[in-house]
């Protein structure tokens, strides 16, 4: 693996923003897969640990038998965090074959499936918890507002109730101009209705 710098990572992330089509995104992640873990380390990407830290105190069931569906699992960073917290059963879903191959090498997952979000239903049971994250930087505010609107509509329809919404200042290092330092992010934890 080559020695990479923050500037290399910055170039990669900014190039991803140009890929808007789903197929382009998958191709991007397939290409990025081999350097992904090293790069997000340089980016100080805290979403996996923040998500796990927000979800863990909300869960009061048996961690050994609980099934975690890790959507857009990437290389398995969230599963690695949750395993440290006592969870043992992980099912991973991702659109990128390259990412899934790396997730498979971790040995964390009992099942891995390639699937594009929105194209087919996810294997989700009624009940249980849903944890999502998003960035809160300027470029992402429109998406964040749209996401929160959908979350509120789903809560209003009785599909789930929110358990915790955690805003975080230091999400990851900023890459887009004119942002400096760290950009913020949010972790959302909901409990699904068992209807």
Nearest to 139 by CA among 95, 107, 185, 106: 185
Please report, in angstroms and rounded to a whole number, the separation of the first and last CA atoms in the chain: 48
Per-residue pLDDT tens over the stretch 29-56: 888 888 888 988 888 889 999 999 999 9
What beta strand segments (E) does the chain contain?
A: 67-71, 89-94, 109-114, 129-135, 160-173, 182-192
Nearest-Å Rg of the Cα atoms of the chain is 17
Q: Do residues 165 and 148 make contact, with C-beta atoms less than 8 angstroms apart?
A: no
Q: For the chain, what percent of residues have pLDDT higher than 70?
A: 95
**Crossing angle (nearest 10°) for helices 6-18 and 22-43:** 160
User: pTM for this one?
Assistant: 0.85
Superfamily for 6-192? Vaccinia Virus protein VP39 (3.40.50.150)
**Are the CB atoms for 82 and 68 separated by under 8 Å?**
yes
pLDDT per position as a tens digit, 77-111: 999 999 999 999 999 999 999 999 999 999 999 99
**How does residue 195 score in pLDDT terms, banded at 50, 70 and 90?**
low
Name 35's Cβ contacts closer than 8 Å, sequence gap at least 6.
Answer: 1, 2, 4, 12
């Amino acid at each position: 693996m080559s020695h990479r710098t923050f500037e290399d990572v910055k170039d990669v992330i900014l190039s991803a923003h140009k890929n808007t089509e789903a197929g382009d995104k998958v191709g991007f992640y397939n290409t990025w897969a081999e350097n992904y873990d090293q790069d997000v380390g340089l980016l100080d990407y805290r979403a996996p640990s923040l998500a796990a830290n927000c979800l863990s105190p909300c869960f009061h069931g048996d961690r050994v038998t609980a099934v975690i569906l890790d959507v857009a699992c990437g290389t398995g960073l969230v599963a690695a965090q949750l395993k440290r917290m006592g969870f043992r059963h992980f099912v991973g879903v991702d659109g990128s074959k390259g990412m899934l191959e790396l997730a498979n090498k971790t040995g964390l997952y009992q099942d891995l499936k390639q699937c594009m979000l929105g194209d087919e239903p996810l294997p989700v049971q009624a009940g249980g918890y849903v944890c999502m994250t998003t960035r809160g930087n300027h470029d992402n505010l429109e998406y964040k507002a749209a996401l929160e609107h959908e979350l509120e509509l789903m809560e209003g329809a009785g599909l789930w109730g929110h358990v915790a919404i955690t805003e975080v200042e230091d999400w990851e290092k900023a890459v887009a101009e004119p942002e400096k330092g760290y950009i913020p992010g949010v972790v959302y934890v909901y409990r699904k209705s068992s209807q």
